Amino acid sequence: MNTFDSFDVGEDAGGDDVYWMSIGDLMSGLMFIFILALSVFMINITEVTDQLVNKDKIRQEILQQIKKEMESKGFTEFKIVSDQGILRLEQGVLFNSGEDKLLPRGERLLKALGPVIADVLDKPKFKGTVETIFIEGHTDNDPIIYARKFDNNWDLSAQRAIKTWLFMSHAEPALKVLKNEKKERVFSVSGYADSRPIASNATEAGKRLNRRIDFRFNMVPPESDQNNKAKQAIESKVN
């Protein structure tokens, strides 16, 4: 009887050992998978960050190249906003206040700008790096009083952006067929009225700065397939 009891106790103890060993193995496996997934995630975060920095550098190079070529043609009526990827044409360059008719000087500038943009984006170093170029119209907050042509500043800003695009693309047809890596048209137009001021509308100087056309260069976003990479890495280690 004592022998039987001793055998039962020993068998139970062995079962507990096996149970706790299984739990330990499971926890170790889960910890391994977690560490592996975290490592892959951190590696991909680093890769994405590096890509973003590199793309921002390329964008600045594109803008500076456009500026250099335009200045060589005698055009200096624009500003580069590097941190936002913007080529800015301030009020009076393209249009008179409250109008959407291009000024003669503005027409000459756009005739030069279209080929320059097309040429720069076609360079091997820059080709395929830009996803979208937004031509953005902006106004001050003065209301449209004599509504002969425009219902409001939204209408005015949009029409200015459209007129800018139509004239420039007519002067340089290559812009019409310029596409990104997704085979989508690169150029787009938008009007923001007074919703995105860059200066105070309380002064005439500030209003003049707010009346502008911006060419905003958006780069192709970095590849973000870290989930697939993590899954593949985990599956290869586990299997």
Q: What is the distance between the alpha carbons of residues 119 and 121, in angstroms, rounded to a whole number?
A: 6
Task: Let me know: does 55 contact 224? Beta carbons within 8 Å.
Answer: no
What is the per-residue pLDDT for 23? 66
What is the per-residue pLDDT for 90? 82
> In the chain, where are the structural domains located?
2-50, 54-219
What is the per-residue pLDDT for 21? 58
First-residue to last-residue Cα distance in the chain: 48
What is the per-residue pLDDT for 9? 46
Strands 130-138 and 187-191: parallel
- Residues 202-237: b if buried by 16+ CB within 10 A, e if exposed: eeeeebebbbbbbbbbbbbeeeeebeeebeebbeee
Architecture of domain 54-219: 2-Layer Sandwich (3.30)
> Tens-digit pLDDT profile for the chain (239 aa)?
454 444 454 455 555 555 555 666 666 666 766 666 665 555 555 554 545 457 889 999 999 999 999 999 999 998 999 899 999 998 788 998 888 999 999 999 999 999 999 999 999 999 999 999 999 999 999 988 765 688 899 999 999 999 999 999 999 999 999 999 889 999 999 999 999 999 999 999 999 999 999 999 999 887 644 444 444 444 554 44
Q: What is the distance between the alpha carbons of residues 46 and 186, in angstroms, rounded to a whole number?
A: 28
Q: What is the distance between the alpha carbons of residues 103 and 81, in angstroms, rounded to a whole number?
A: 24
Q: What is the distance between the alpha carbons of residues 175 and 167, in angstroms, rounded to a whole number?
A: 11
Q: What is the distance between the alpha carbons of residues 30 and 139, in angstroms, rounded to a whole number?
A: 58
What is the largest distance, in Å, between two alpha-carbon atoms of the chain?
113
Structure tokens at 173: 């047809």
Structure tokens at 232: 């593949």
Pick from 71, 189, 91, 78: nearest CA to 140: 91
Sign of CA dihedral 4, 6, 8, 10: negative
The SS3 of residue 199 is coil
In the sheet that 86-90 helps form, which strands lie side by side, from edge to edge?
Answer: 79-81, 86-90, 212-219, 130-138, 187-191
Which one-letter DSSP state was computed for residue 175?
G
